[in-house]
Amino acid sequence: MDKMILGGYTFTWNPEKCTVPRKTKSSSTVETYSGAVYFSWGTLIAGQMISLEWDWLDEAQWDEFQTLLEADAEVVWNPRTGTTYNVEISKLQGTYQAKSLTDAAYRRNVVLSLIIISEV
């Protein structure tokens, strides 16, 4: 599989797990004195939460994600599935591991959370 791209950065490692972007129905129900009213705005991709997950991640890729998070700007996410999205990075979590077999620092149990703003 081709490497994903986020904000111009091409991933060194694709995630082991990833939420599949899909449209969901936007609707609401309001109770009235005599029953209920149902409102539907159709299906939307905007507002969908996406989780990208790694069991472990090298420090260089973590640092790229941290830089994008700190920029606090909308970026383009290309998951290499045929559709590209404008997203906001909402969270980056992981556990720091000081040493591995190669004496290099890395992160474990990494989750990068994205919110889809729109399709490009």
Q: How far is CA 41 from the centre of its chain?
A: 24
Asked whether 56 and 19 are in contact (CB, 8 A), the reply is: no
Burial label for 65, CB within 10 Å (0-12, 13-18, 19+), is buried
In percent, how much of the chain has pLDDT > 90? 88
Segment 40-76, tens digit of pLDDT: 999 999 999 999 999 999 999 999 999 999 999 999 9
- 78 contacts 86 by C-beta, under 8 angstroms: no
Q: What is the pLDDT of residues 97-118, one digit of tens each?
A: 876 566 677 899 999 999 999 9
Using a cut of 0.75, tell me whether the model's pTM lies above it: yes
Amino acid at 94: G
